[in-house]
Structure 1
Amino acid sequence: MTAHTAPAPPPVVVAARHAAPAWHAWRAWVVPVGSLLAFALWLWSLRGVELEETGGWGLLTALPGSWYAAFALTVLVHLWALLSRRPVSHLLVAPQVLLVAILFATTALVYDVPRYPWTYKHIGVVEYLLANGTVDRSIDIYHNFPGFFYLAAGLHRLTGIPVQDVAQWAQPTLALVAAAAVYWVLGGLTTSRRIRYGGVLLYTLGDWIGQNYFAPQALAFPVALFVLGGLLRSVPPGIEGMRFARLAERFPTAADDDLPRPSRFWRSRWGAVVMVVGFVYVVVSHPLSPMLLLAQSTVVCVLLRPARPWLPVVFLAIEEAWLLQAWPFLHSTYDLFDFGFHNVAPPTVPISDPLEDYETALWGARLLMVMVALLTVWGVLAAVAWRGRAGRMVVPLGMVAVPLALVLGQPYGNEGIFRAYLFALPWLAFVIALQLFDGKPAWTPERRLLATLAGAVMALLALPANFASELSYSVAASDVAAGEWFEEETPEGSVLLPFAFSFPVWSTADYPHHLPRAREGLEGIAAQPGFPEAATDETRLLAFTRDLCAQQPGTGPVYVAVGPSADDHVRLFGVAKLYVYRAYVHALETDPAFTPVFAEGQTRLFRCRA
């Protein structure tokens, strides 16, 4: 009997997984290694900063080449990650944090005291709270919106960090908070990390107005974005989330897979409570931000179907309740509304013979805003014509329209255009990022080139926009010491008459004793009528100063302040010849009408009326 062997089974063919070539492995390391290298370059560059070289291009002429290399590498790494075919991971946080550090922490590291002369009036409010424990609504507007100042005082109590040191590091810290808030609010429009991180990059490069220093709006703004992000997360997906069917038909939305899903938490009552708490903080911290937040949340509820469409009514009641508390001071001091197109014009500073290249450098900020506007127009047209995404433009453009409309009636004058730009910027960044960085369509060479050029040009313009005016932004420690001496050592009712408006004042708990009622800034000698005619020689300028001292209101003593802020003001704006100003300072020291009372470094205080 012959034994039969069973036939062998056919071989199983397994499709071989083609491992990525070894030379492709480097792509996974571009972001971490590139960020680490840029970080090392940036730290190294800080040793080579020469502040005495600050000139018409601001701090840019004082920075070494390694600083620019670190900045360029950071932007390139960020753009590479956004434009590569690799999935975007949260490693992109590294170049984003580094970009914020390079733009906003460089000055914190190279300056001895906080940047911006107007920072110090906020330090003074915090010091007042620490000394007195509560606010006095009759003093100034900050005491009527004290939320931010109570938080800063609490931070000091908790950590022991001096308030001035908190202010020194407020700008990079709050810039990071704002970037995180932009990422959060864009999550209410898309789940795509690529678009969200791209929007944050565009926002950071476009945010040049310097609102993120030690000030109430610096924290009120990201909290407002947090509230709007929660409200958007309570909206049902797709057409169901649109309030008007006709609007959905007129502006169709493509079936994109990055559309966000509603959040169970933000649709719940607890989510509503969190949003109300966030709105309360904004209301008690800043006069304008809650109005913008109220209007933008109303736009969301009109266009979409959030879970709690009545929230704007609650917000309005909270705003009215708080304004009633502040009404006596506001009504007697400010115009709450000021309608007119004059609000759109940017603020101006008298310039006679400015430092070489300064006027050219100022174009950086203007061109940056124009660049953002042009990219936004292109993004809208592309969404409508090329991709069938008109529906995705409705909400962000509605949010942009609110601050642009409210600026025509706000009481901040021509500073309002910058506030409108700030509140519109996150939504403008989304419109642009949706077209530049969305990875679902084919990555054509044209799209990559356009995205790279747009990012590179914005980065280039961001440098003069942020640093061109550094001679008026930087503050000397000796000027700060003089301001503190004036507030703590002179009798109540004394008047400070600085040569330049950029002199830091009101940084101590005693600042209310010398505060001109209903004013938030000092007009320096150089801003007074008749100054240009008097600034032709030191003798006439000295006589002009004597007359100003005699004309000051009240009967208290008057003190003239000169120092690095005045020297930089003269250099930057050319309001007088530098040799005339320095001869004038020497004349102050020898004229019997001016008694020297304080001297530190280049700063001098003179009493000119007993």
Structure 2
Amino acid sequence: MPWVLIGLGAAAFGWAAPTLRHAKTSEFGLLAMASPLFVVSIALTAGAFAISVRQHKSLAGSASIALMIAVQRLPSYFATDSPMYSWTYKHLGVVDYIQHEHVLAHGVDVYNSWPGAFAMFAWLSDLSGIPSQDLAHGFTPLFHVALVSLVFVAARAWGLDATQAQTAAFLTASLNWVAQDYYSPQATAMLLTAGILTLIGLSRTRPMSVIPMIVIFSAVTITHQLTPFWLLLVTGLLLLARQMKPWWIVPILAAIVIGYTLYNFKDVDQYTLFSLNVFDNAKSNVPTMGGAGQRTMSAAIRTLSGAMWVLTVLVLLVRLRRKQPFFALAAISLSPMLILGGQNYGGEAIFRVFLYSVVGCSIVLAPALVGLLRSNRMRFGVASAVLVLASLLSAEGYFGGWFANIAPLEQVESSKLLMAVADFPAYVTPIGPSFPQRGTWQYVEFARFDEHFDDPVLQAPNMIGKHFDTDRDYQEFSEVIGSRKAPTYLIFTEQMRFYASYYGLLPLDALPNLEARVRQDASWQLVYDDRGAIVFEHNPDRR
């Protein structure tokens, strides 16, 4: 039976795949606009895994994991022409600079101060001869193959049997809605983190692989700002509970991460280290409420996240009542919530909480899920239904913002061209987010001129929510641009318009209204209108 469902799921995905690239843009995301068989393929895959566990079919379970990765992660490669997410191109720009100059632009931005992933990506591109943009485009599915493999190993290190470890790997593959699986330092750090959690699991009773743990932790430290502090928190909690050996590794890890952060502190000093305001730190970096589609996606991920954490707590309480080991598992699954007591990490702390906890929660939940799937028919049916529903909620969270987050290839090319031909010094300013900025090495020169040279106009005060249909609105916009002492290249795209509407930053008519007023303003000159991008130049000396 599991092989039948796997075959049907693969066939459904194969039939739906051509519709993904050509799906009509909608605020309700890719699941709503692609063939219904896309949703069916996800449900069938989750059902196949549930039956494979019940019937002790480990090979079918592995095939289900592989199919879930294919169904949920391959679309980012074959249904797009270029890497997802506009912020991916900031990473590509750092890699391009390293390849071009063979040095770091230390002090220019936070990326050049935490360069581990970028240096690795540059080396890998040079070694393989594959352009970094192509590596970025295919990164996501390869990342998940590596992640679920490491989760399986980590689960075994934490005492799970082979089926339970396989279940933990499947949960990680199917529940990870957080879009932190792209070409990024965070994704790289998560792979290293899974390796460290494996070594921690082996070191609970006697010292194991101390030197490799220190080496991998050092790699995490030079790669990402927040992840090593969470790992230090985990190891510290385990040390206090006498669940970690040797004790002296914690001071060494603390010296590494604190020393490196102090060395680069000027790049992160804008973040409050310990605000202790949990509710404020849990807020998203998007300050507005989006449309119906965005609210649907948000409801899906809130439901899924809350359910995962609640079920994890319940399983841990059962373990406590049965006098089974629970504290160490609680540390790796629930300790990320303590991040909210420290800072908001630029409005992204709540996303990191789920990302860091998904591996630990999967390890905690896997034995309980296996027990339910192998219990009586009623419990099996309920557990299977919950697993299918959770997979679909995760997919909605992952694909709900698909159309807001794609980066059309023609706009990527326009961005590169603009960086190459723009007069220096200048501001290269998109109206709103979702433009592939800083994609080439030239960005460093502009960033040295002004680190905010490409901040979207919407980041300026009082810009969010305007229609730009009145003289007052346009006057406030003009004051933002007019305060600059260098020329401004102002960028409009349809992608920005959709993104701003999807997240409730601007009404749909705002950018067309503003563009019309800019065209009528003699202080602006049209310099580019091609490949999905419109660029105007404003010179402060022009009258």
Same fold, judged at TM 0.5 (above) = yes
Task: Output the CA distance in 1 between the equivalents of 2:453 and 2:316.
Answer: 41
Match of residue 509 from structure 1: 441
Name the CA shift for 1:457/1:570 in 2 (closer, same or farther; >3 Å). same
Q: Does residue 1:378 correspond to 2:308, yes or no?
A: no
Distance in 2 separating the partners of 1:189 and 1:533: 50
- 1:47-446 aligned at under 5 Å gives the runs 47-49=18-20, 51=22, 53-84=24-55, 86=56, 88-236=57-205, 267=208, 271-304=209-242, 308-327=246-265, 329-330=267-268, 334-351=271-288, 354-385=290-321, 388=322, 390-410=323-343, 412-438=345-371, 443-446=375-378
Is this contact kept in 2: 1:383–1:435, CA < 8 A? no
Alignment of 1:458-477 (within 5 A): 458-477=390-409
Q: Is the alpha carbon distance of 1:134 and 1:338 closer, same or farther for their aligned partners in structure 2, counting shifts above 3 Å?
A: farther
Which amino acid in structure 2 is aligned with residue 150 of structure 1?
A
Structure-2 change in CA distance of 1:479 and 1:541 (3 Å): farther
Deviation at 1:492, TM superposition (A): 3.0
Cα deviation, 1:400-440, whole Å, max 9, x if unaligned, reads 3432223311361432122122212222222222212138x
Sort the Cα spacing of 1:67 and 1:369 in 2 relative to 1 into closer, same or farther, 3 A.
same
Larger Rg: 1
Paired with 2:245 and 2:432, the residues of 1 have a C-alpha distance of: 53
- Is 1:605 equivalent to 2:535 in the alignment? yes
Change in CA separation of 1:324 and 1:50 when aligned onto 2, cut-off 3 Å: closer
In the alignment, which residue of structure 1 is the partner of 2:493?
563
Whichever residue aligns with residue 218 of structure 1, its letter is A
Match of 2:524 among 578, 594, 598: 594
Matched, 1:496 2:432: no
**Counterparts of 2:410 and 2:428, CA distance in 1:** 16
Over the matched positions of the two proteins, sequence identity in percent amounts to: 21
Q: Render the CA deviation track for 1:80-133: whole Å, top value 9, x for unaligned.
A: 11222x2x4255222212212221221221111111111111111100100111
Contact 1:534 1:544 in 2 (8 A): no
TM-score by length of 1: 0.81
Distance 2:490 2:496 in 1: 11
Change (3 A) 1:277 1:160: same
How far is the alpha carbon of 1:207 from its aligned partner? 1.5
Amino acid at match of 1:379: V
- TM-score normalised to structure 2 length: 0.91
2: CA distance between counterparts of 1:461 and 1:519? Answer: 38
Task: Determine helix, strand or coil for the equivalent of 1:274.
Answer: helix
Distance 1:437 1:201 in 2: 12
Which structure 1 residue ranges, 5 or more long, are not aligned? Answer: 1-26, 242-265
Whether the 8 Å contact between 1:113 and 1:476 is mirrored in structure 2 is yes
Moved more, 460-469 or 40-49: 40-49
Q: What SS class does the counterpart of residue 392 from structure 1 fall into?
A: coil
Query: CA separation of 1:538/1:559 partners in 2, compared to 1, >3 Å: closer, same or farther?
Result: farther
Structure 2, unmatched stretches of 5+, are: none
Alpha-carbon contact 2:285-2:348 (below 8 Å) kept: no
Cα distance between partner residues in 1 of 2:346 and 2:280: 5
One-letter amino acid of the counterpart of residue 54, structure 2 = L
In the superposition, relative to structure 1, how do residues 510 and 432 fare at CA in structure 2: closer, same or farther (>3 Å)? Answer: same
3-state SS of paired residue (1:595): strand
- Is the partner of 1:39 in helix, strand or coil? helix
Is residue 2:469 matched to residue 1:537? Answer: yes
Closer, same or farther: CA 275–539 of 1 in aligned 2, 3 Å: same
Amino acid at match of 1:141: V
- CA offset at residue 562 of structure 1? 0.2
Give the deviation of 1:355 after TM superposition: 4.0
How many residues are aligned here?
Answer: 540
Q: Secondary structure at the match of 2:99?
A: helix
Matched residue SS, 1:187: helix
User: What is the distance in 2 between the residues matched to 1:508 and 1:433?
Assistant: 44
CA gap 1:124/1:337 in 2 versus in 1, 3 angstroms: farther
When structure 1 is superposed on structure 2, of 37-46 and 214-223 the one drifting more is 37-46
CA distance in 2, matches of 1:532, 1:425: 34
Task: Judge which range, 526-535 or 111-120, deviates more.
Answer: 526-535
